[in-house]
Structure 1
């Protein structure tokens, strides 16, 4: 979920529905918190069920494919059935996923839970983003940019705290999320739907992938940064806790949760602080921060320094948030309204492939060469991709306007 509009002063617009804005924003937070909740628990699962790093990253990636499938298929469904109906259906599917996590007794149950969770999140994404903009056309864009990253951060840190200090480490966090989801479903069910229903729901399920000619060069230019953003996110959300434990020497889920929170919390803070800047400047800052942060993280791995890893993660996190925001704001305005869905579907395909495929590759590399060499190599590739995006962005910004088609 993200913004496709240009920055605007954050004042309530006429017709703002604060209750709907708050309600749907908290649902986004819960969905994203649930998505990152397993991250600090992966080590616990691995210890209990004795599976390899390859299986760990495969469990993580099992979330991305169904999410992408339902995202591109149902992205426009709420335009026909209404926001509330689609959101409530997605919340019901998410509840099934959380219940499956809570009773999981092996890797097959983990795979099933992640797949169902991906389906739920993909179905909810478009409807929630649209419902938030319906509730406040001015501040909705900012909420759609910050809430997903903030939810991922809260989920990782909250799970780390619960697993460390509360009983039933493999169940409690999912039961808490289920309770929160139930309360939110009751609120959403009473929220007036501001989107009128219209025919064509079945036809809207056909995925549309297209890149209009006006956006092709821009998409190519932002792709290195976008791939770096989500490759880094995929590694942090899957193998990040293992790396944090290896460098810190602390065998605690809170260590992994803290590292994940550092990345995502810094990303949310950077988006909040810089969302009013022009798209080109945001992208430039994101690429620079990703390059520097990844280089610092590689140095941390090579020197075995956990404090340096945290510092690199925070810098990378600022690049994570601003790199994604800058990429979206660069390409979205270049498509006509009728072409934007196809363009964004293509963009999300790139994003989720970048999140899942490299993470699975990292799992295979860990099994063969070890965690620390894999982390150093992975971080180097992310830094080089970010540097390529930085150079491309700088060239575009310094090219005379008359020399550009």
Structure 2
């Protein structure tokens, strides 16, 4: 049997790609290696973003600040991220993917140095804000670059990575940091040293990344804060908004107050448990996204919304009844819904956008997600200071459950309107 044609082994670059001279191509990563490297860097950024979560309790004990301050530290990261998404979201469409990613790596490294030297809340806030800017600049560029390098034989692989990297990275960062706090030396320093070393390696990889986006004018104009969606993409994005809000609001609850709930309501003082609280949500999310990658979009969204609702309700019952088993089980069930919704949502957006629209569309989706991720968490932090942790958690979880019900209704209406799209597989 004859093998594949040479053109099948080496796919031609997309129309927007810059063709490098021969001497430059010899120094660049191959397309498969570049794709894998981008996926690893995506996970690294997400792991770095969740690593401080188990440390919040440590900082709170050392510096004696309130739950309101704790969630402010959490939210200032999202503020920096959203600012970067609004201002820098389309920059790589004009300057190229590699320069923007290398700049994001450098800025992330600066934030790690600030974390290492932080001795008060002010420096911690500054570090988180800079980290948010770096992550926001990187996320849409990574998503666009992955789509640019998507293998021809697996057209939905970029969407799979974009949908699974956040959940896998968030779980890895929180659990890994929890283990280092509990068993390693220098609990507020070691994790940042390791992340800084990983960023150096990531910078070396990205410096050899093949450029896939043609430089074009309008870079300065693209920095004007805006949320623009091409008209033909608006209906698809709007149909995904309820489940994006429901799932990421739940994620914000666990990353901001989850470790505090484990300590304050269940008396679990181990820092590993603080990391496990987040991993119980994000671990099943990652596994689910891998398992459901071949499912039709409509079915995945409907099942995900249902499991988000059921899981949140079970976790809520566990907290009210002081049942650790029920709270953990509900978190894991909700994690399955979280993973499915991330896969279907971001996989759909990565697939339907044209190359020149990818950064902007992903920026809008990430802004929606991270607003849902942060604003309710800040309100919960303020409420916890005045009304107590348990009442705050119960009210927050009940609100998320209502949002999940709304998301389920939205997906059923969407399936009724466009039944033909429900059979399109995601991967």
Which residue is equivalent to 2:424? none
Secondary structure of the 1:69 match is helix
Identify the range of structure 1 (194-203 vs 254-263) with the bigger mean alpha-carbon deviation: 194-203
Contact 1:13 1:136 in 2 (8 A): no
Q: Which residue of 2 aligns with 1:60?
A: 74
34-43 or 332-341: bigger deviation: 332-341
Deviations 1:263-305 (A, max 9, x none): 1111111111112222211111110011001001101101111
Residue 123 of structure 1 is matched in structure 2 by 137
Counterpart Cα distance in 2 of 1:342 and 1:82: 14
Aligned equivalent of 1:4: none
Q: Deviations over 1:303-336 (max 9, x none)?
A: 1112221111111111112223333456677777
Q: What is the CA–CA distance in structure 1 between the aligned matches of 2:67 and 2:395, rounded to whole Å?
A: 16
**Paired positions, count:** 392
- TM alignment of 1:351-390, pairs within 5 A: 351-390=369-408
Does 2:42 align with 1:28? yes
After the TM superposition, which of the residue ranges 279-288 and 208-217 deviates more from structure 2?
208-217
Q: CA distance change for structure 1 residues 27 and 348 in 2, over 3 Å: closer, same or farther?
A: closer
Looking at structure 2, the residues matched to 296 and 156 of structure 1 have their Cα atoms a distance apart, in angstroms, of: 23
Q: Give the counterpart of 2:302 among 280, 284, 305.
A: 284
Q: 1:117-139, CA deviations, whole angstroms, 9 ceiling, x for partnerless residues?
A: 01111111122222222333432
- Structure 1 residue runs without a partner (length 5+): 1-10
1:319 and 1:253, CA in 2 relative to 1: closer, same or farther beyond 3 A?
Answer: same
Report the TM-score when normalising by structure 2. 0.85
Distance 2:138 2:192 in 1: 19
Q: Which runs of 5+ in 2 are unaligned?
A: 1-7, 13-29, 421-427
In 1, Cα distance between equivalents of 2:116 and 2:300 = 40
Structure 2 matches for 1:191-230, cutoff 5 A? 191-211=209-229, 218-230=236-248
C-alpha change, 1:320 and 1:13, in structure 2 (3 Å) is farther
CA gap 1:120/1:340 in 2 versus in 1, 3 angstroms? closer
- Paired with 1:127 and 1:242, the residues of 2 have a C-alpha distance of 33
2:125 to 90, 111, 114: 111
Distance 1:174 1:264, change over 3 A: same
Change in CA separation of 1:238 and 1:312 when aligned onto 2, cut-off 3 Å? same
Equivalent residue of 2:219, what SS? coil
Rounded Cα–Cα distance in structure 1 between residues aligned with 2:81 and 2:216: 25
Distance 1:14 1:324, change over 3 A: same
Q: 1:76 deviation in Å?
A: 2.3
Q: Which 10-residue stretch deviates more, 306-315 or 58-67?
A: 306-315
Provide the rounded CA distance (Å) in 1 between the counterparts of 2:217 and 2:378: 41
